[in-house]
Amino acid sequence: MDASRFDPDRPDVLTRAWAAGLEGIVIPAVGPDTWEPLLELPRKDARVQVGLGIHPQLLPELPPERDTEHLERLDALLARGGAVAVGECGLDGPSTTGAPLERQVHVLRGHMALARKHGLPVLMHCHRLHPAMIEFLKEEPFPEAGVLMHSYSGGVELARFYVQKGCHFSFAGPVTWAEARKPLDALKAIPLERLMAETDSPDQAPTPHRGQRSEPGYLPRIVEGMAKVRGEPVEVLAQRTTANARRFFREAFPPPSR
């Protein structure tokens, strides 16, 4: 929601989201320049919460010699309060040409240490680097508050490893795409208590909006897609993913008005 593609109509996008039945939105940071502006959002509306971190796709744009400085500043901001998670952070295969895997792992290890220090969950990105992520999680102490595999796109065997480690999983628009076989097979195998739903706005819009800008108000389409794949009632899946999110984010969202 902090992306520039929402600048023309951000208030209208939020209005549509609440009208669609959403009770809370988590906006993950992608880089240091967005941290302070994001922290202002929950102060204006408690239904909007934020995570603070450095997305691996942004690392090629940041000087490596400032990685330690950025992590120290992130530590200070997390200590101040106002964030419900660390991230979005993780590993990204297409970014390795500009940010080698060794650097990505170093920065991710810093995020994990901060999550353990501040008792916060991690919003984890992993794209085309699941073998490296598995090796990382085998070695790295797991944050007590948990790890959420954001917009999970891996197969069922990978999912079984992440389940065993204690990860949660969030699914986005691809669950409504006919050709997205691997994540759909994984979705069937993940325990219901580990599932959440997201739009990954402004990317990965669900059918019938595919190819357009995604927005939070499309979340019901994704929940419907998840329920169809799992063979469960939409209402049950909506209630459980909402309850899971409230628990995972430590009841950060206000109770829904009735």
Which residues fall in the annotated binding site for a divalent metal cation?
Answer: 88, 125, 150, 200
CA distance 201 to 213: 7
Torsion of CA 89, 190, 205, 216, to 10 degrees: -70
As annotated, the binding site includes 88, 125, 150, 200
Cα 4 to chain centroid distance, Å, stands at: 19
Chain position carrying tokens 């209208």: 12
Q: Nearest 5 degrees, angle CA 130-CA 131-CA 137?
A: 85
SS percent in the chain: helix, strand, coil, step 5: 55, 15, 35
Per-residue tokens: 118:
């501040």
What are the b/e assignments for 56-85, b being 16+ CB within 10 Å?
bbbbeebeeeebeebbeebeebbeeebbbb
